[in-house]
Amino acid sequence: MKKIAVMTSGGDAPGMNAAIRTVVRKGIYEKLEVIGIQRGFQGLVASDFIPMELGSVADIIHRGGTILRTARAPEFLQKEYQLRAVYNLHQQHIDAVIVIGGGGSFQGAHVLLQHGIKVIGLPGTIDNDITGTDSCIGFDTAVNNVIEAVNKVRDTAMSHERIYVIEVMGRTSGHIALAAGLAGGAESILVPEIPYNLGDICTRIRRGIDRGKLHSIIIVAEGAASALEVGKALEEQLQMDIRVTVLGHIQRGGTPTAFDRIFASQIASTAVDLLLAGTFDVMVGLKNNHISITPLVDVLSQKKPLAIDLYRLAEVLSI
């Protein structure tokens, strides 16, 4: 192993820079040459490679986003592009690629593997929907971003005695909604994994009002429903004034939390160790506070379940 490459792909996630920094610095410490692939799989196909030095990753650990840029590259599903990417890697004599991203990025990584390229995946997505790891780079920061917003909305909800419906990210999963809903004290949490019933939400709100509760926060994962539609339906059923806030990409930006920086550094360092030891075709994550190593095929074939115990706890606490 002499030359490795690192790339970020899919939606950016705070903490990706800490992972890039570790791959570069640890790689150079281990006498490896490190190449940065810009704009994910798009850049791999376009041979958008840059040499990474110690200084290339200076002053980035506290920055959200990714200095390597990222892209969604559906064209990589086509064989022509895959072969071009493999050719580019061979041309540059790159021995292995560390792919930082989510499910779609790991599918791309798997394609590289099938073409004989050594790959290791690092989970980086605010959605936290990757199996084999308790957390993904960016999730902790995103949840904290949401809570900061919920706290602010709560101030005005309390002042006006209103119900607020807040939509958070999570295209196919409710991990952000659940974590932020529990930590933010939401009355109801709507996630794609669990069917919801508007009647139940109304009953819960009415019960709160009867007890003297004057405001409520409902968190909706974008994959479960549109907050605007939920707000409209609740307004009709409850005959109350309801406000809707869609948080959008604010959740994905900002300085990464200490957790995301440390976690990203740890798993990226392990990825370099594994490559040096001749292990690849795996994703490095964290389970029960210990580094976990999961075959990429298992990561790709299983859907991460929602923490049902946390969901039930949130229900109990918002009785």
Minimum Å gap between C-beta 172 and ligand F6P is 8
Binding of residue 125 to ligand F6P (CB under 6 A) = yes
Beta carbons of 84 and 115 less than 8 angstroms apart? no
Taking CB under 6 A as the criterion, the residue among 48, 127, 134, 193 binding ligand F6P is 127
Binding of residue 39 to ligand F6P (CB under 6 A) = no
User: Which is nearer to ligand F6P, 48 or 127 (by Cβ)?
Assistant: 127
User: Which is nearer to ligand F6P, 16 or 126 (by Cβ)?
Assistant: 126
Minimum Å gap between C-beta 130 and ligand F6P is 11
Nearest partner of 174 among 14, 313, 305, judged by Cα:
305
Stretch that binds ligand F6P, among 125-133, 150-158, 193-201, 206-214 (CB under 6 A): 125-133
User: Which is nearer to ligand F6P, 11 or 123 (by Cβ)?
Assistant: 11
Q: Is 251 helix (H, G, I), strand (E, B) or coil?
A: helix
In the bound state, the residue with its beta carbon closest to ligand F6P is 11
Span 167-196, contacts to ligand F6P by CB under 6 A: 169-171
Binding of residue 70 to ligand F6P (CB under 6 A) = no
Minimum Å gap between C-beta 96 and ligand F6P is 25
Q: What is the 3-state secondary structure (H, E, C) of the chain?
A: CCEEEEEECCCCCCCHHHHHHHHHHHHHHCCCEEEEECCHHHHHHCCCEEEECHHHHCCCCCCCCCCCCCCCCHHHHCHHHHHHHHHHHHHCCCCEEEEEECHHHHHHHHHHHHCCCEEEEEEECCCCCCCCCCCCECHHHHHHHHHHHHHHHHHHHHHHCCEEEEEECCCCCCHHHHHHHHHCCCCEEECCCCCCCHHHHHHHHHHHHHCCCCCEEEEEECCCCCHHHHHHHHHHHHCCCEEEEECHHHHHCCCCCHHHHHHHHHHHHHHHHHHHCCCCCEEEEEECCEEEEEEHHHHHHCCCCCCHHHHHHHHHHCC
127 is an active site residue: yes
User: Which is nearer to ligand F6P, 16 or 230 (by Cβ)?
Assistant: 16
Taking CB under 6 A as the criterion, the residue among 126, 153, 267, 268 binding ligand F6P is 126
Minimum Å gap between C-beta 40 and ligand F6P is 12
CA-based torsion, 178, 271, 20, 58: positive or negative: positive
The interface mask with ligand F6P, positions 231-260, x = CB under 6 A, is: ---------------------x--------
- Count of residues near ligand F6P by CB under 6 A: 11
Which one of the listed residues 12, 48, 127, 260 is annotated catalytic? 127
User: Which is nearer to ligand F6P, 152 or 171 (by Cβ)?
Assistant: 171
User: Which is nearer to ligand F6P, 72 or 232 (by Cβ)?
Assistant: 72
Q: Which residues are catalytic?
A: 127
Could you list the residues that contact ligand F6P (CB under 6 A)? 10-11, 72, 125-127, 169-171, 222, 252
